Amino acid sequence: MGNATILVVDDDQDVLDFVRIGLEAEGFRVVEARDGESAMIAFEAHRPAALVLDVGIGRPNGIEVCRQLRQVSAVPIIMLTARRDEVDELVALAAGADDYVTKPFSSRVLAARLSVRLAHRSELLVSEVLRFRNLSLDLESRHVCVDGAPVGLTRTEFEILALLLRKPRRVFTRAEMIDAVWSQEWFGDYHLVETHTSRMRRKIVDAGGPRVAIAVRGVGYRLAEDIEQLAIA
């Protein structure tokens, strides 16, 4: 994804320099920010294709910046942290992050993760609306609605839901979901699939929609609980 602009946000100049050099070597254009306030300004000014966002920045912190951006954009966000803590990881994903990288890390791996995210984002979509009961998903506009009211999903949550809606009677293994949503260049753990899927399900149910993305023990996920539920309302 050469020439794509990446906004990198970290309060450590050494980290900024390391990431910038690595990403520029892979053909990316890098814009830097050192705190949450300047990150929001840079986002508005440059409209980057993706963000690399440190959790521990200030004014506001990375989690809050991620939450704010998710209200206005589905741009891919990869969070950076100095701690390998599952709670931190879950908080970042719940805020809307697409991926999570622990320091120290390889700049080439980071560039590969960004390329995967950007490749998915740039895929051409067929104009099609998928429906299940009072839930609809528009592949072209990337809008998800319950009874016509929009539901805010992240890019990853949207892709998981679209996968299940396209083949509602199929049970997808976690490996198949990773291949379809993240591609074969996967660097995370299987529990990230569960985190994104459960968060997507909760948003839809909270909006008054059907309970979707049902776990099939020992296998993976399917769209709905019972085969009878799969009749389109």
pLDDT surpassing 70 at residue 2: no
Instruction: Report the chain's mean pLDDT, rounded to a whole number.
Output: 85
Task: Count Cβ neighbours within 10 Å for each residue of 216-233 and write b for 16 or more, e otherwise.
Answer: eeeebbbbbeeeebeeee
Tens-place pLDDT, residues 40-56: 999 989 989 999 999 98
137 — pLDDT class (breaks 50, 70, 90): very high
Percent of the chain with pLDDT over 90: 52
121 — pLDDT class (breaks 50, 70, 90): low
Which of 22-36, 66-80, 153-167 has the least mean pLDDT? 66-80
Residues forming beta bridges with residue 138, ordered by sequence position: 129, 143
| CATH number 3.30.420.40 is the correct assignment for the domain at 5-122 | no
> What is the pLDDT at residue 139?
80
pLDDT surpassing 70 at residue 174: yes
232 — pLDDT class (breaks 50, 70, 90): very low
226 — pLDDT class (breaks 50, 70, 90): low
The domain made up of 129-230 has a fold known as Arc Repressor Mutant, subunit A (1.10.10)
Tens-place pLDDT, residues 45-89: 998 999 999 998 988 999 999 988 887 777 889 999 887 666 677
Residues 100-106: what's their mean pLDDT? 89
Q: Where in the chain is the domain with CATH 3.40.50.2300?
A: 5-122
More confident position, 201 or 179: 201
Q: Which string of DSSP letters, residue by residue, matches 5-54? A: EEEEE-S-HHHHHHHHHHHHHTT-EEEEESSHHHHHHHHHHH--SEEEEE
Q: Under a CB-based contact definition with an 8 Å cutoff, are residues 4 and 28 in contact? A: yes
Helix (H) or strand (E) holding 144: strand 143-146
Matching residue, tokens 């986002």? 43
124 — pLDDT class (breaks 50, 70, 90): very low
For residue 48, say if its preceding peptide bond is cis, omega within 30 degrees of 0: no
> What is the pLDDT at residue 125?
40
Contacts of 160 (CB under 8 A, 6+ apart): 177, 181, 193, 196, 197, 200, 213
> What is the pTM (predicted TM-score) of this model?
0.57
pLDDT surpassing 90 at residue 188: no
> What is the pLDDT at residue 123?
52
> What is the pLDDT at residue 114?
92
> What is the pLDDT at residue 5?
94
Q: Under a CB-based contact definition with an 8 Å cutoff, are residues 11 and 56 in contact? A: yes
Tokens representing 24?
Answer: 């520029």
Tokens representing 43?
Answer: 């986002």
Q: Under a CB-based contact definition with an 8 Å cutoff, are residues 177 and 223 in contact? A: no
> What is the pLDDT at residue 25?
94
